[in-house]
Structure 1
C-alpha cells in the first residue's frame, strides 16, 4: 500500500474519513508521503505524541538530523525546506540552547498588554469591515482573516500596516510549500532585517526593540530569527484559527450564536476548532536520533515524524470512545506539547476571539454564499484553512472603523 500524501489530510472536504482510515489501516503511527518519494511518519496517538514532544534526547527538533535531507533525497531547494530544514533559532534547537533562545520570546509575549491588544485588534477589524461594508458581500478569508493577525502582530513587533501586508504575502508563500516558498522566505528575512536596522537606530515600545536589548540574544542573527518566530508562528496559525472558527459559526447551527440563535458561542467554537481542526493540523517535525519503536512501528534513525495534531482527536484510546470535543474542554494538543509547545496561546486567543466577535457583531443577516460542501482549502501539507469564505449580509455596522484610534481619550 502506497503511503497517503500528507496534503490529502488538509485539502479533503472532510478530514474525519481520512483520519479514520489512517487509524484503521495503520494505528497510531502511519506512513505518509511529504512529496513524491519523500516519506515520513504521521504520529496520531495521544501518548505517542506526548512521547516524541517530551523526549528531545530521542526525538530531535534539529532538521540536520533528517536522514532524507542528509542523503540528498530532499534537495536543498525543496519546497519542504522552509518548514523542515534546520533553522538556527529556538525552533531548531533542544536542551540548554533551546531554553536560552526561548526566554526572550517568552519575555516579549509576557510584555503584551492584552487590553491594549484587544482594542487595537478591534480597531483594525472595523477598518477592514468598513472597506466592504457597502457591498453587501465579502470574502472573510481574503478580506479579513488573512489580514487581521499580521496587522496585529506586525504592530506588536514594530511594523507599519503596509509592511505588515508585505510580510503577510511573504509568509503565505513561505508556508505553502509551493514553488514560491523559497522566494517568500527570502523576502520575509529581508523585511525583518530592515525593521531591526531601523529599531537599532530608533528604539520604540515594541517587541523588536525588546529583543534587540535582550541579554540572552548574542548576535544580530539571533535577534532576527527570534522576531521571525514571533511573526511566522503567530500569523498563519491565528489566521487559520479565525477562518475555521468563522466557517464553523456560519455553517453549524450549534455555533451560530448571534448569527442565527445557536446555543453555543464564540469561545465554544474557538475551542472546538482547536480540538478537531487546529490551525496547524500537521506540525513538522521530529527526527529520530536512533533506531527505536513507537506505536508498534519500527522507527529508523533519521526518520521524520510529523505531529498529527488533528488526527489525535481520533484516538479512542485517549478519549474512551467518546466525542473528543466537549463544551469547555481545552485538553487538546493544538499548541503541541513539551519544551517546544507554543508560548503565545493567550495573545493568539485575544486576537482570534476579537476578530471573530467583531465581524459577527458588525454584519447583520450574514450568510455563507456557497454550499458548505463547496468550501475549498489552501494547498498546504501543514495547515487546513478555507481558501475562501464568501458571504452576503443585509447590513454592516463597522462602528468605529474611521473613529478613534486605540488609546484615544475623549
Structure 2
C-alpha cells in the first residue's frame, strides 16, 4: 500500500504514541467560530497535512487536514478503522467527557466494519432507496409552507429556530412515522448533543429513548415508513441494532441539513452573485447549496478513525490505537485541490462533505438531503422574495462547535406576506 507523500512539517511523538504536548494545538475554542478556514490554512503552513492536536480535556489526537490524506484514510478502512474500542486513550477518558456521545461505542453501523458494516449499511440504503423523491419534495414544500405561515404576517423571523432547524426534523419525522408529539423534545436533545453542551450525555440518551419508543410503536402499528422498512429488511436487524441505527440516521441527518439550509440562505443574502438573483432564486439555489458544501460545509470535522497498526501519514508516525480526526472542511480548502481559494465551485462535486469510501453517507442519503434543503430554500425565496438580513452580516453568530458549522440565529425582515392555502 502506497502512503501519501510526507508533509513538510513533523511533530514529536510521545512514548505512548500520542502527539507530544509541546507541539500540539487545541482543537477547540473561539478561534473556530469566526473564520475556521483561515485557521486551517495556518495549521497547514505550520504543521503540514496531519496536525497533532488535543481535544477538550487535553485528550490527544491527530487532525488530518490534507485532501489527499483524508481521501487516503477513508479509502483504507483496514488500516484506519472505525471501531472506537481500539482507542489507546480510553483509560484517560472521564465518564462525563462531552465528546463521549461521538466516540463511545454503540452497536450501530457507524462503528461496524467489514461484512458487518456492509450488512448494516445495506439495510439503511435499501430502506432509503424506495423513498419517492417527488413525494419527498412535495412533503418538504408543504412543511416549508406551514412553517412560513407561522411568521409570514409578522414581517420578521429568526430563520434558524423557526425554519431551518424544525423543517428537516419534521420531514424526517414523517419519513420515520414518528408521532408529532415527540418532535420538540427530539429537536432539543439533538441540539444539545451535537453542540456538546452541558447535559449532552443525557440528551443523547433522550434520543435513544425516543427511537426505542418508536420501534415499539411500529411493532404494533407498522406502516409505509423508513422504520418499518428497516424492521423488515433482509439484514434481520436485532432490536438493539435497529434502535442504534435509527439514532444514527436521525442525528446524522437533521443537524447537517438544518445548517445546510441556514448557511445557504446566509450566502444568498450576503453574496452579490446570489442576492442579485433572489427574485428568480430557483436558478441559483443549487449553485449556492453546492458552494456551501465547499466553503461552509455543515460537518466541519469528524470523529474519527483509529489506527489498526502503526503507519506513517503526512510525515507523522501514527501508532496503533491513535485517534484521527478527519478535517473535512479543511480538506475542501486544500490548495492542492483548490489552488485558488476564491474560485467558484460550480459543478465540482468532489468535496468531502459527505465523507468518502465505505463509511460515507449511505446512498441515496445525500440526494434525499439535497431534495429537502433545495425545497426549503426555494420555497422561502418564493414566499418571501424581498427577504433581507435584519442585522449586519458580521454580527451573525456561529454555533460554538468545532464539529459543525452553522448559525446560532438568522434574523431576517421582509414585507408582511400572505398565508398559503
CA distances 1:202-243 after superposition (whole Å, capped 9, x unpaired): 111101111111221331111111222221111111111111
Separation of aligned partners in 1, 2:192 and 2:44: 31
Aligned to 2:411: 390
After superposition, residues 39-188 of structure 1 pair within 5 angstroms as 39-69=60-90, 72-188=91-207
Structure 2 residue ranges without an equivalent (≥5): 1-21
Q: Distance in 1 between matches of 2:204 and 2:53?
A: 25
- Which region of structure 1 is more displaced relative to structure 2, 144-153 or 81-90? 81-90
Kindly indicate whether residue 212 of structure 2 is the aligned counterpart of residue 223 of structure 1: no
1:376 aligns with 2:397: yes
Question: In the alignment, what sits opposite 2:310?
Answer: 291
CA gap of 1:19–1:9, structure 2 versus 1, over 3 A, is farther
- TM-score normalised over the length of structure 2: 0.90
In the alignment, the residues of structure 1 paired with residue 145 and residue 281 of structure 2 have an alpha-carbon distance, to the nearest angstrom, of: 24
Which 10-residue stretch deviates more, 43-52 or 310-319?
310-319
Say if 1:254 and 1:262, in contact at 8 Å, map to a contact too: no
Do the aligned partners of 1:275 and 1:313 also contact (CA within 8 Å) in 2? Answer: yes
Please identify, of 247-256 and 210-219, the stretch whose mean Cα deviation from structure 2 is larger.
Answer: 210-219
Does residue 1:194 correspond to 2:213, yes or no? yes
Q: How far does residue 257 in structure 1 lie from its aligned partner after superposition?
A: 5.1
Cα distance in 2, alignment partners of residues 66 and 162 from structure 1: 39
Once residues 254 and 311 of structure 1 are traced to their aligned partners in structure 2, the CA distance between those partners, rounded to angstroms, is 24
Q: Please say which of residues 226-235 and 331-340 is displaced more in the overlay.
A: 226-235
Distance apart, 1:321 and its partner CA: 4.6
Please state how far the C-alpha of 1:370 moved relative to its aligned partner: 1.1
The alignment partner of 2:412 has SS state of strand
- What residue is the counterpart of 2:17 in the other structure? none
Query: Would you say how many aligned residue pairs link Structure 1 and Structure 2?
Result: 398
Match of 1:408 in 2: none
Q: Is 2:127–2:229's contact at 8 Å kept on the other side of the alignment? A: yes
Equivalent-residue separation in structure 2 for 1:302 and 1:267 (angstroms): 41
**Structure 2: how far apart are the matches of 1:199 and 1:262?**
40
Q: Which runs of 5+ in 1 are unaligned?
A: 401-410
Query: For residues 287-326 of structure 1, what are the structure 2 equivalents within 5 Å?
Result: 287-321=306-340, 323=342, 325-326=344-345
SS in 2 for 1:125: helix
* Alignment partner of 2:266 out of 234, 247, 254: 247
Provide TM-score, normalisation by structure 1.
0.93
Match of 2:252 in 1: 233
| SS of aligned partner of 1:307 | strand
Cα deviation, residue 6, structure 1? 2.2
Among 261, 278, 285, the alignment partner of 1:259 is: 278
